[in-house]
Amino acid sequence: MHISGSIRQYLVKTILSSMLLLAFQQAVAADTAISAPVDKLHSVLLENMKQAGEQDFAGRYDSLEPVVAANFDTPLISKVILGRYWRELDEQTQQDFINLFRELTVATYANRFDSYGGHHFNTVAVEDLRKERHLVKTELQAAGEKPVSLDYIVQNSEDGWKIISVIANGVNDLSLKRAEYGTVIKDKGFDSLVEDIRKQIDSLKPG
Amino acid sequence: MSVSHLVKFCYTLLLGSVLFLTNGCATTKPTDEVATMDRFETANRASYNFTDSLDRNIIKPAAEAYADVTPKPVRTAVTNFFNNLTYLNVILNDFLQGKWDQGLQDSLRFLYNSTAGIGGLFDVSTAIDMPANNEDFGQTLAVWGVDRGSYLFIPFFGPNTVRDTTDFVPSTLLNPLFYASGLVLLPVTALNAVNTRANLLEASNLRDEAAIDPYVFTREAFLQQREYLVYDGNPPASEFDDIFLEEDENMLIIE
């Protein structure tokens, strides 16, 4: 009686702890899946930074292009940034804008993340937002410097989790561009905005 | 208090109250969000263009020359010195926001940097885990629930909001330099201006690279950064999510 009691207690404990462990592992796995696009972006950025001496802008651009294409929901980003102007564009113009904006994103990352000073990225927290959206909070830390906070909003889409917004030290790139692009379209028209973005991409390329 | 101090103080008060009144009187119903946020856009743009051309032609080149010839440790010491001088205002606003522990720690920080840090030249407090905090009267008013009011671009000084201009009063009165004589004040103020601009070189180069409409870029980045400071770097995540609300509604219509 006494032995079977201990065995039962042991079994209950084992089952309970396995269930807890499983729940914990599932939670960690869910968080890992949510932050996967961010981790992929960070690992390529870090690799590029470490190879600063050997790799030029074109090399960084080529390594980032597939990562941005696979891990950013650029169609949704373009739609949100252009707001009410989006609906006024025909399908081809919308697609051209998405490609242009993707090019700008890749060129910006290739231009900015081009030197290494003992940097590393830390994921600090994952918070739930509305719908299927989450905020992945990270920090970029250079040796001996104050960390820069880099937060990402990720959303589950048909082909996995994708980044839909980047927030650097509290400044949300999406709202910033929405305000800026809206003003340019209002003042000078959509074609002028496209021309300005082209010029900007050119200026991000060296030489 | 000398006559020049009195004039300076009155000017500060006057500027603050005029701006506050202007905001209070503007009761017309705005048509959209930008109209509310940037009620004085025409004047602000003019002020931005004026300040920008002054910056490009005189202030920025001076700051670049200063950054070129001044060794990094000296620049850091100059920055530390001026930051320390403005720190009494941080302490006051810690307490006004009810952040008692932070207020006490910031008081210790000020005392320690002013003494062991030789008049604030060395930031010895950060090394012992007493890092600098960023507080001002604009943030205090935000914590008390005061709306930020319209965006303002003040010539020479740059981006601001109606609410945040009120910081001119405590920050001026609590800065020991305000009580220094005019002879010392001029070169010291010039050094502060050039050093501050030099510290902003990286940020302004980034803006030049990233902005398509630099005026709007500066405004948006400034307003968002202020919000971030009001929440001490932890704004509610929903703020960043609000931009997708319209998209959510569209999805509902489609569904």
ipTM of the complex: 0.81
- Minimum distance, in Å, between the CA of residue A133 and any CA atom of chain B: 8
Give the residue from A180, A150, A106, A72 showing the smallest Cα distance to B240: A150
- For residue B101 the two structure tokens come to 């522990």
Q: Do A171 and B210 touch (CB under 8 A)?
A: no
- For residue A164 the two structure tokens come to 């839909």
- For residue A196 the two structure tokens come to 């300005």
**Residue B159's beta-bridge partner residues?**
B153
Q: Does A196 touch chain B (CB under 8 A)?
A: yes
Predicted confidence band at B243 (pLDDT cuts at 50, 70, 90)? confident
The one-letter amino acid at A96:
D
Instruction: Tell me the backbone φ, ψ of residue A127, rounded to 5 degrees.
Output: -115, 145
Q: Do A170 and B224 touch (CB under 8 A)?
A: yes
Buried b (16+ CB within 10 A) or exposed e, A163-197: bbbbbeebbbbbbbbbbbbbbbbeeeebeebbebb
Q: Which residue has the tokens 């890992």?
A: A32
Of the partner residues B34, B225, B233, the one whose CB lies closest to the CB of residue A171: B225
Q: Do A180 and B212 touch (CB under 8 A)?
A: yes
Q: Which residues of A touch B210 (CB under 8 A)?
A: 108, 200
Q: Which residues of B touch A135 (CB under 8 A)?
A: 237, 240-241
Q: How far apart are CA A100 and CA A181, in angstroms?
A: 14
- The mean of the pLDDT values for chain B is 86
Per-residue pLDDT tens digits for A96-110: 999 999 999 999 999
Strands (DSSP E) found in B61-212? 151-154, 158-161
**Average pLDDT for A46-53:** 90
Predicted confidence band at A161 (pLDDT cuts at 50, 70, 90)? very high
Residue B55 Cα to chain centre, angstroms: 17
